[in-house]
Every structure is written in structure tokens, then in C-alpha cells.
């Protein structure tokens, strides 16, 4: 993302419109120039890179665009490291201590460097050259860090990242966000809700998978003490939203006029036709090793019951519950499965509160024997018919046996 000073936007009536770069020859060429500049500086200190970027910027009126591209390349595609065989702070300690013991002269600096090199050669039992002292003395300063790795994006990728970052910056000043998501694959909802939870956004969810969901999110400007950290967390949710097929978003954006000492609220609108490109992967990984192991074991079974991952959404305002698996029989019967492994008491309390609110008779709960439900204030006997206890791994046969028991011993394991 971009810092505030590199955000570019304009106001049109009551709306705010962030800057976007077109994928035309001019900006593709500009992006490639900056990529080439970084590529040419691999193995060089950061100050060398900054000098080349300053020449590339020149007196251009588009300096903020250029600095924005540099910021993204530096923070998301580059890796800088302190390169010094000896810890710089230790080198300074030795040099300053020795330098304080003699008056400064034209030749004293070199004498101190050579004396420290001689001392370290004995201490480390290897030859330490004076140049190592020179190079390492301030190697930990930002300007002296070495660009040791650069993963060059394509010019199109860089411009897409720039446009997304400009939109993300709008949400630094948001107070209220309303998101409508509709006619989407349940897996897309799952990914969106997972990111909302991961970034600890304050949200209220209404609706269901058939009609869609309306998600109301408080922005950083709505807090009693506006939080930069919360604003960044909200902005980080936007790339996840781009993986959802159908959605609309409106946000209230606060703008303070420092000259007039007034504040005005603008509106920002975004939908699935915005043309932005996410750099987040479509997460197909499992939430835990227990889930992954269970799914892999299921594939080896000879059973008509089909295992589907995270396809059922159960609205429980102010949130939504998405069980880990759905187990479906060819005749249409199905069960939901939620696996609860190793979690802290607060999570357990919230999870079992959701389970009680859901009132789903076909919801199975697999619980690790390592969990202390009583300590978390959970009465497991209230859900006893639905609970499946497991030790280290959850066996698919345990789940099929419980299904058979709940359906009256009809021998459904194999048919």
C-alpha cells in the first residue's frame, strides 16, 4: 500500500475519486523504467538505488506517481539486508573506544581502522581487512543496506498494484462501509469472511447464501480514537473482496480541511466491475492440518458419501458460520461437520455459542480430547449426540459411524 503523502485523488461533487493509471504505452514504459532501475541495482547499497531513482524522477510534475511506483517496488518486490561480516554496532564500539584514546590527526583515522582490524583478526582467528571495517562500520544504516534480491513484476502487474493501492488508501479515512455480496460461490464468501475475521474488522452480517449478504463495517474514522492501524487493516481487506464475483460497496470518507478547519464527508463507490486486480492468492489451503488430513483420508474411502469443503453458510447475526465440510449422500441427505482442534477458551466460547444459535440438527462437531470444554464454560452434554471426540487425528470412519447412529442404525456407511 501507499503512505498518505503519495495518495492522489480528486473530489467530484460528493464523491471522491482515486487516481488510476491506464495501461497505455506512456505508463507501461514508465513502469518498465523503474523496474529496470531496481534490477540494475541488485547487489548495490540502497543509496545507489536512491540516486538513480532521483535522476529518473528529475523535475517531473508526476513525481508522486513515480515515487508511488518506487515505494511499491521497494516494499513488495525487493529485499534489503545488512551485509557485514561483523556486527556494525560492535565495530563502532571498538572504533570509537580506540579513537577516544588519541588526538585526532590527518592520519589517526586510518591508524584506528588498522588497529581494529588487527585486534579482530586475533579475536576471530582469521584475517580481517581494514576495508571490512570501513564497509561494515555503518552497514546497518538504511542507506547502506544492500539490495540482495529483486523479483521484477511485469509493467502491467506494477500498474495494477499501483491502482489498487490508490483505492486502498481511500479507506484510511473511512467511517462507515456497506458491502452487498450476492449470487456468489460459497467458497468466495468463506474467503471474504475469513479475511474480515483475520484483520479483526468490526462488522455486522445479515442475509444468507441464497439472497446474498449485507456486511456493515465500521471504519477507522468512526472510532472514538481513530486508529491508523485499523485503517490499514480495513484497506488490506479490499484485495480479498476482489476475489468475490458479485458485490457492491459504498463508504463514507472523511476529509479535513486544515485551512478552513472544517470536515466534510464524501462518498466512495466500488463494485465488481471496478477493473482492479488482486495480488492475494485464492486461498484453497486448509485451516488446519487436522482438516487436511481428514480430507485426504476421505479420498481413500469406498463410500457413496461425498465430502465437500466449506460450501454451507449459516447466518447467525451479527456474523455467519461456515462449517468446515458438508457430507452429502447421493439421495440428497447431508450432514455438516465442524472440526474444533486446538484453540483458546475465548474461541471455544464463541464457536459453541454459534453452534447453539445455529440449531442445526445435522451439524456434527468433532472436538479434540485435548480441549478442556469445562474450563471454557461449555456444557458439552447439551450437544452430546452431535459431538465426535478424537485424539490426534479425526477418522472419517468415526464420522460415518456417528451419521449411522443419528439416522437410527440404518447401515448407511456403505450405501
Number of domains in the chain: 3
Question: How high is the mean pLDDT of the chain?
Answer: 86
Tell whether 83 is covered by a domain: no
Tell whether 276 is covered by a domain: no
Q: Are residues 128 and 183 in the same domain?
A: no
Residues 6 or more apart in contact with residue 222 via CB below 8 angstroms = 175, 176
Report the pLDDT value the prediction gives residue 73, as an integer from 0 to 100: 98
The number of CA neighbours under 13 Å toward the Cβ of 343 is: 18
Tell whether 277 is covered by a domain: no
Report the pLDDT value the prediction gives residue 193, as an integer from 0 to 100: 84
Domain with 381, as residue range(s), is 289-406
Q: Are residues 296 and 200 in the same domain?
A: no
Q: Are residues 248 and 330 in the same domain?
A: no
Q: Are residues 61 and 158 in the same domain?
A: yes
| Domain boundary, last residue among 242, 271, 300 | 271
Which letter does DSSP use for residue 152 in this model?
Answer: P
> Which is it for strands 247-257 and 174-181: parallel, antiparallel or unpaired?
antiparallel
For 168-258, strand residue ranges (E) read 174-181, 203-208, 212-218, 247-257
Q: Are residues 167 and 127 in the same domain?
A: no
pTM for this structure? 0.73
Tell whether 72 is covered by a domain: yes
Q: Are residues 47 and 181 in the same domain?
A: yes
Q: Are residues 172 and 100 in the same domain?
A: no
Which letter does DSSP use for residue 85 in this model?
Answer: S
Q: Are residues 73 and 95 in the same domain?
A: no
Contact (CB, 8 A) for 244 and 188: yes
Q: Are residues 319 and 256 in the same domain?
A: no
Q: Omega of the bond prior to 91 within 30 degrees of 0, cis?
A: no
Tell whether 412 is covered by a domain: no
pLDDT in tens, 156-181: 999 999 999 999 999 988 888 999 99
3 state DSSP class of 385: helix
pLDDT in tens, the chain (415 residues): 899 999 999 999 999 999 999 999 999 999 999 999 999 999 999 999 999 999 999 999 999 999 999 999 999 999 999 988 889 999 999 999 999 888 888 788 889 999 999 999 999 899 999 998 988 999 999 999 999 999 999 999 999 999 999 999 999 888 889 999 988 777 788 788 878 877 878 888 888 777 888 999 887 766 545 556 778 888 999 999 999 999 999 999 988 777 777 788 999 999 999 999 999 987 655 666 788 889 899 999 989 999 987 667 777 766 777 788 889 999 999 999 988 865 556 666 767 777 777 777 888 888 887 776 666 566 666 556 778 888 888 999 999 999 998 887 544 444 5
Q: Are residues 95 and 213 in the same domain?
A: no
Contact (CB, 8 A) for 263 and 249: no
Per residue in 335-356, is it b (16+ CB within 10 Å) or e — as a string?
bbbbbbbeeeeeebeebbebbe
Q: Are residues 115 and 179 in the same domain?
A: no
Tell whether 69 is covered by a domain: yes
Q: Are residues 133 and 199 in the same domain?
A: no
* Cα Rg of the chain, angstroms: 29
Contact (CB, 8 A) for 85 and 146: no
Amino acid at each position: 500500500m501507499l503512505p498518505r503523502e503519495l495518495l492522489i485523488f480528486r473530489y467530484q461533487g460528493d464523491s471522491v475519486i482515486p487516481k488510476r493509471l491506464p495501461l497505455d504505452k506512456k505508463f507501461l514504459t514508465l513502469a518498465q523504467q523503474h523496474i529496470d532501475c531496481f534490477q540494475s541495482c541488485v547487489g548495490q547499497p540502497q543509496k545507489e538505488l536512491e540516486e538513480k531513482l532521483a535522476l529518473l524522477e528529475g523535475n517531473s510534475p508526476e513525481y508522486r506517481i513515480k515515487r508511488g511506483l518506487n515505494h511499491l517496488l521497494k516494499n513488495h518486490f525487493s529485499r534489503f539486508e545488512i551485509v557485514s561480516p561483523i556486527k556494525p554496532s560492535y565495530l563502532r564500539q571498538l572504533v570509537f573506544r580506540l579513537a577516544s584514546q588519541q588526538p585526532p590527526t590527518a592520519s589517526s583515522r586510518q591508524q584506528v581502522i588498522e588497529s581494529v582490524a588487527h585486534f579482530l583478526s586475533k579475536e576471530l582467528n582469521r584475517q580481517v581487512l581494514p576495508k571490512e571495517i570501513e564497509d561494515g562500520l555503518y552497514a546497518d544504516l538504511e542507506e547502506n543496506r544492500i539490495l540482495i534480491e529483486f523479483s521484477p513484476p511485469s509493467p502491467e502487474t506494477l500498474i495494477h498494484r499501483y491502482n489498487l493501492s490508490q483505492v486502498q488508501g481511500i479507506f484510511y479515512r473511512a467511517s462507515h462501509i456497506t458491502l452487498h455480496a450476492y449470487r456468489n460461490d460459497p467458497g468466495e464468501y468463506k474467503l471474504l469472511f475469513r479475511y474480515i475475521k483475520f484483520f479483526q474488522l468490526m462488522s455486522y452480517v445479515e442475509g444468507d447464501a441464497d439472497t446474498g449478504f449485507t456486511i456493515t463495517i465500521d471504519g477507522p474514522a468512526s472510532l472514538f480514537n481513530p486508529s491508523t492501524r485499523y485503517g490499514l487493516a480495513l484497506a488490506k481487506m479490499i484485495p480479498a473482496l476482489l476475489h468475490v464475483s458479485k458485490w457492491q460497496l459504498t463508504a463514507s470518507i472523511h476529509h479535513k480541511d486544515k485551512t478552513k478547519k472544517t470536515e466534510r464527508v464524501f462518498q466512495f463507490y466500488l463494485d465488481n466491475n471496478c477493473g482492479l486486480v488482486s495480488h492475494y492468492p485464492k486461498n484453497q489451503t486448509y485451516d488446519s492440518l487436522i482438516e487436511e488430513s481428514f480430507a485426504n483420508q476421505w479420498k481413500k474411502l469406498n463410500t457413496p458419501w461425498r465430502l465437500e469443503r466449506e460450501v454451507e453458510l449459516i447466518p447467525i447475526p451479527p456474523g455467519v458460520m461456515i462449517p468446515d465440510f458438508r457430507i452429502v449422500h447421493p439421495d440428497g441427505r447431508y450432514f455438516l461437520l465442524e472440526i474444533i482442534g486446538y484453540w483458546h477458551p475465548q474461541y471455544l466460547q464463541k464457536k459453541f455459542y454459534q453452534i447453539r444459535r445455529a440449531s442445526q440438527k445435522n451439524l456434527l462437531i468433532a472436538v479434540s480430547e485435548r480441549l478442556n470444554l469445562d474450563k471454557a464454560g461449555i456444557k458439552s452434554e447439551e450437544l452430546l449426540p452431535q459431538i465426535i471426540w478424537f485424539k490426534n487425528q479425526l477418522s472419517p470412519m468415526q464420522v460415518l459411524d456417528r451419521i449411522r447412529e443419528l439416522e437410527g442404525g440404518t447401515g448407511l456407511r456403505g450405501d
